[in-house]
Amino acid sequence: MKKLQSTTAILSFIMVVNALSYGIIIPLLYPYAEKFGITPVGLTLLVTCFSIAQFFATPILGRLSDRFGRKPILILCLLGTSISLGVFALAQSLTMIFIARIIDGITGGNISVAQAIISDSAKGEDRTKSFGMLGAAFGFGFLFGPAIGGILGRYGMTLPFWFAAALALIAVVVSALFLPETLKPALRDVQTQKHEPLFKFRSLWQALFQPYTGIVLTISLISITALNAFFIGFQTYTNDVLNLTPLQIGAFFSAFGLVGILMQVFAIGPVLKKFKSKKTILRFSLFASMVGMMLAFLSNSAWMFFGSTMVFAILGAFRDPIISALLSERTKAEDQGGIMGINQAYMSLGQIFGPLAAGVVIGLSVHYVFLVAAGFLLLSVIATKWLSVHDKPLDL
């Protein structure tokens, strides 16, 4: 247990640093790229190219971690983050900025490899709670990253990028010195003996069409699509409809993130003890998230909108840890990195589909974005009906 706690603590630190390095650049992404002539459409492409690169890369990184160990691949991912931020800071053209984001996407397997480490180290309730800790750590870093980026940006546009690059290097050092290798040599040998290519589109489809694992992956994709649609609606509604100041929007967003973090750290353990069925917890979390989105659709004041987003944040916080735990439980030990990479790949698709879905309806009314998000969540609730199917562990 102490070893698991130590490993989780190190991974949580790495996730905080990773999220900080990502969150720091958010307030500066558009103004920095604007000096090279980027348009709002170009900004969308800039964000999308990261997700596309991540979609193809994360299954490969997951498989590499199954074959060569978790630690070296996690270090490689963190180095990629640092290099991409350095390229961003040194950029002299829009092309270099796109290259920087693609590099970050290609090496963007930090979360999936960290989840594979947890899968190696824990089982049952401890595994789910550790997944929750990782999610909370990432949320903590993401919560404060934009504020740090905004403060550092006052002293120079490139300073936040260099600071974030340095944070990623610190995470590299911490990983190299203190993080244990959790993949047993025997499991590495199993992957090596398979003599299979590192990336197979067939694995993506194979996992998706498994009776149990495929449903979980589908729920993951649909719910992340809803979440990313909500983020587009959130930004537009608070700015254009509620006319909140940047400080108020920041406080709003911080409260949303902080509540989610507290739920993942302190509530997931007691909930797992009271409700043994992860399927029940997931279904309730998705249903409550849908209710939150419906309330946001109906909101006509700042307080009503705040209340609806708090419902979404509080009761939706269980979604990601439960999904990761369900996937891990139904996958062979030697394929844990692979399945986490595949899940991350589908989540990358959700990061593309969500904003696109929001863009289709936002011209009619920003309220329709929340209705679309609620519709996606309703589909994910319906999909949980088939989680009672138990297939044999997935072999990637």
The pLDDT profile of the chain, 396 residues, written as one tens digit per residue, is 567 788 888 888 888 888 887 777 766 776 777 788 877 667 767 878 888 888 888 888 888 888 888 999 999 999 999 999 999 899 999 999 999 999 998 988 788 888 888 888 888 778 888 888 888 887 777 777 777 877 888 788 889 889 989 999 999 999 999 998 888 887 765 555 555 666 666 777 777 888 788 999 999 999 999 998 898 788 778 878 888 776 677 677 778 778 888 888 788 888 888 887 888 999 999 999 999 999 999 998 888 998 999 998 888 888 888 998 898 887 877 778 778 888 888 888 898 898 888 888 888 888 999 999 999 999 999 999 888 755 555 665
Of 209, 93, 90, give the one whose Cα is nearest residue 161.
90
Do 53 and 5 fall into the same domain? yes
Do 242 and 365 fall into the same domain? yes
Domain enclosing residue 364, as ranges: 200-391
Residue carrying the six token digits 């958010």: 26
The per-residue pLDDT for 246 is 60
Do 268 and 129 fall into the same domain? no
Do 302 and 363 fall into the same domain? yes
What's the CA gap between 363 and 359, in Å, rounded? 7
DSSP letters of 298-323?
A: H--SHHHHHHHHHHHHHHSTTHHHHH
The domain tally of the chain equals 2
In a domain, 117, yes or no: yes
Do 211 and 356 fall into the same domain? yes
The per-residue pLDDT for 115 is 85
Q: Are 290 and 381 in contact (CB under 8 A)?
A: yes
DSSP H helical ranges for the chain = 2-25, 29-34, 40-68, 70-90, 94-106, 110-121, 124-153, 159-178, 185-194, 201-208, 213-236, 246-262, 268-274, 278-298, 302-315, 319-329, 336-361, 367-383
Amino acid letter, residue 13: F
DSSP H helical ranges for 26-123 = 29-34, 40-68, 70-90, 94-106, 110-121
Do 170 and 31 fall into the same domain? yes
Look up the CATH number of the domain holding residue 131. Answer: 1.20.1250.20
- Residue 361's CB is within 10 A of a number of other CB atoms, namely 17
Exposure pattern of 120-153 as b/e (b: 16+ CB <10 Å)?
bbbeeebbbbbbbbbbbbbbbbbbbbbebbbebb
Its pTM stands at: 0.77
Choose the final residue of a domain: 141, 176, 211.
176
Of 96, 387, 377, give the one whose Cα is nearest residue 215.
387
